[in-house]
Chain A
Amino acid sequence: SQQGEEDPQALSIQEGENATMNCSYKTSINNLQWYRQNSGRGLVHLILIRSNEREKHSGRLRVTLDTSKKSSSLLITASRAADTASYFCAINQGGKLIFGQGTELSVKP
């Protein structure tokens, strides 16, 4: 499979802690994207990192990409209860996005 694969599958933390989610993939990529999905809702794009980038920030989000290891990580700093959601990485394959199975993040107040 060439899809992104996230780990852990589920993560439970306390408010204020940092949350780190990882994504591994098997094929060469042009970019990798991270999406968030609140329960029962559509996905929302968080951040895109290109293959020539190693790190990217957006607010409390920090994404890294290691193309030699074919892996990416999403770090959410100072988590809030409202960050509770599922997070998916997605890689481009011929113009289509292939999604991983996601990490379910629970942030307890």
Chain B
Amino acid sequence: SQTIHQWPATLVQPVGSPLSLECTVEGTSNPNLYWYRQAAGRGLQLLFYSVGIGQISSEVPQNLSASRPQDRQFILSSKKLLLSDSGFYLCAWRNRGGLGETQYFGPGTRLLVL
């Protein structure tokens, strides 16, 4: 069966520090991968998505970047965190092909920038 992992679960970082959040998927090949951010009490904002290794699409201009070094690995990074980067970050995957099929979410990483 497919599983998706995210780590760390919680992270407290000072302003200006770098960030690296990792997401890995098991049990599937060639997935589409997604990074979302969720502010407290709000809906999800799509940050990045990837349809293959090295292929990254950015949805909103921001202080973050994403990379996909392996088929089932998706990394969210920042060189210098801002206070506004605080939030709940969710990784998701879905099978490639089809139109808007089900997405499967990881447990999320709560980031607090101080």
Contacts and interface: CB of A to CB of B under 8 A. Distances in A.
Interface of A: 3, 30-31, 33, 40-45, 48, 88, 91-92, 95-102, 104
Interface in B93-114: 99-108, 110
Contacts of B105: 42-44
B25 to A, nearest CB: 13
13 contacts: A31-B99, A31-B100, A42-B90, A42-B92, A42-B106, A44-B105, A45-B102, A88-B44, A91-B100, A92-B100, A96-B100, A97-B100, A99-B44
Interface in B60-114: 88, 90, 92, 99-108, 110
Interface of B: 32, 34, 36, 41-44, 46, 49, 59, 88, 90, 92, 99-108, 110
The prevalent SS among residues of A at the interface is strand
B18 to A, nearest CB: 24
B98 to A, nearest CB: 8
A32 to B, nearest CB: 9
A96 B108 contact: no
Nearest to B9: A40
Contacts of A45: 102-104
Given A33-B100, A42-B90, A101 B43 contact: yes
Contacts of B106: 42
